[in-house]
Amino acid sequence: MSFDTLFMTTLNLTRIQFHIVNAQLKKLFTSKNEQNYIYDKKRMNLLAEHHGFLLRYINDINHTFSTPLLGYMALLIFSLCLEMYNVSTSGSVEVLMGAASYVLVAIWGLVALFALPAEMMLDEVYKICDSIYSSAWYNHPKEKQTILLIIANAQKKMYVQAGKFVNVNLATSLNGIQRSSGLYFNKSTLAILIRRMETDFWSPDDVPLSKEEKQFFADTHQRLKTAFKMLILFCSLNSGCACFQTFFLPKNAFVMVFSIVVPIVSLDVMLMTILVLTELQFKLLNKEVEAVFDIDAATDENVDKRINRIQNSAYFSRWYNYPKQAQSMMLMISAAQRDVTITAGGLININLETSLSTIKTMVSYCMFLQTMGNK
């Protein structure tokens, strides 16, 4: 609770500072009197300086709270998943009441102590542009350059982040709560995902491929087999070490380790397989798009059928041979330009940048613990 209270208090005090700046900016240049203008100019410079300080202070907040906030968020989401599972499976009234109470308190704490203060503070941050524009700046147009600089500085994206890659706000928090509940209340989602893979994925035999593209598929298959072999090797070594440790540890500890490790390894294999197979589907799709308007093999009827089959598009097909399909091509290109991300819990993007940031945060946290231990 100490960390919760400190974080909430810091954000609320910072929000009040931004609110003061907004209120003062709206009152600038209300008079055309020269003496009042000199006073307003000094006050605007002071407000601009304080605004810059507050923006730097938000960066300091991120630097100070980022790592412990990430640990808190991870622990909270994990505990919510466990308690949601208890709520959905337990037949005991006592267990149900305890789990439901924990879930309600945890959700209240996440929203009221973290997400809502961060959201309200950032709302005040983004009001700076409206506040300075709402002032009577037109009474003194020679100050427009300073006002433009304040507006430009106020338009920078500011975030409160956990671990430098999870934004702390209402959208992220509600998304995390939704994912936590959906993990156990929508148990059929994974089965549907696998079933669609079996029925809707294209076979390489249905798409004409060049020798190089066939080699790409063969190499990908070989890499997947190599990854499976390495995974089996590491799991075998891990199992051997765990079996050796049972001579020195209670059997319950051995069972707990395997009850955690086996599901995680299974999830790793399943996720890797799904992503690789999906990558191959996009490879087939790109090849099909490039040939969709091949004038030597296409008729209007065939083009219409293939257009309906393909969901995304590529500019490098011979679309100019069929100008009446330009609208369909534009719709496909528009759909292909959407940002597509693989996320964990709807919070964290799964990519190389996030992975490196996680490793960096982990190393920083270990060094922090080591420093605290030395003291």
Which tens digit of pLDDT belongs to each residue from 315-356? Answer: 445 554 555 555 555 555 555 555 666 666 555 666 667 666
Percent over 90 (pLDDT), the chain:
1
Name the amino acid, one letter, at 65: F
11 and 89 fall within a common domain: yes
15 and 150 fall within a common domain: yes
For position 17, what pLDDT does the model report? 92
Answer positive or negative: Cα dihedral of 89, 91, 92, 93: positive
Give 290's pLDDT tier (boundaries 50, 70, 90): low
Last residue of a domain, one of 144, 159, 185: 185
Range in 57-66, 177-186, 347-356 the model is least confident about: 177-186
98 and 114 fall within a common domain: yes
3-state secondary structure labels for all residues of 82-126: HHHHHHHHCCCHHHHHHHHHHHHHHHHHHHHHHHHHHHHHHHHHH
Bigger pLDDT: 296 vs 370: 370
For position 310, what pLDDT does the model report? 47
For position 110, what pLDDT does the model report? 81
The average pLDDT across 15-20 equals 90
Domain carrying residue 177 = 2-185
For position 142, what pLDDT does the model report? 73
Residue 12 has pLDDT above 70, yes or no: yes
99 and 21 fall within a common domain: yes
Kindly report the average pLDDT of the chain as a whole number: 70
167 and 279 fall within a common domain: no
The average pLDDT across 6-17 equals 89
86 and 106 fall within a common domain: yes
| Domains in the chain, number | 2
Last residue of a domain, one of 185, 220, 250: 185
The pLDDT tens digits of the residues spanning 237-281 come to: 666 665 555 555 555 555 555 555 555 555 666 666 776 677 667
Give 295's pLDDT tier (boundaries 50, 70, 90): very low
Residue 229 has pLDDT above 60, yes or no: yes
pTM score, whole prediction: 0.50
342 and 319 fall within a common domain: yes
For position 76, what pLDDT does the model report? 78
Question: Which region holds residue 162: left if phi is over 0, alpha if psi is between -120 and 50, else beta?
Answer: beta
The pLDDT tens digits of the residues spanning 125-165 come to: 888 888 887 777 777 777 777 777 777 777 778 888 887 76
- How far apart CA 298 and CA 319 sit, in angstroms, is 12
304 and 335 fall within a common domain: yes
333 and 279 fall within a common domain: yes
33 and 100 fall within a common domain: yes
221 and 113 fall within a common domain: no
Bigger pLDDT: 202 vs 290: 202
201 and 125 fall within a common domain: no
The pLDDT tens digits of the residues spanning 46-61 come to: 888 888 889 889 888 8
Instruction: Please say whether the beta carbons of 335 and 312 come within 8 A.
Output: yes
Last residue of a domain, one of 131, 159, 185: 185
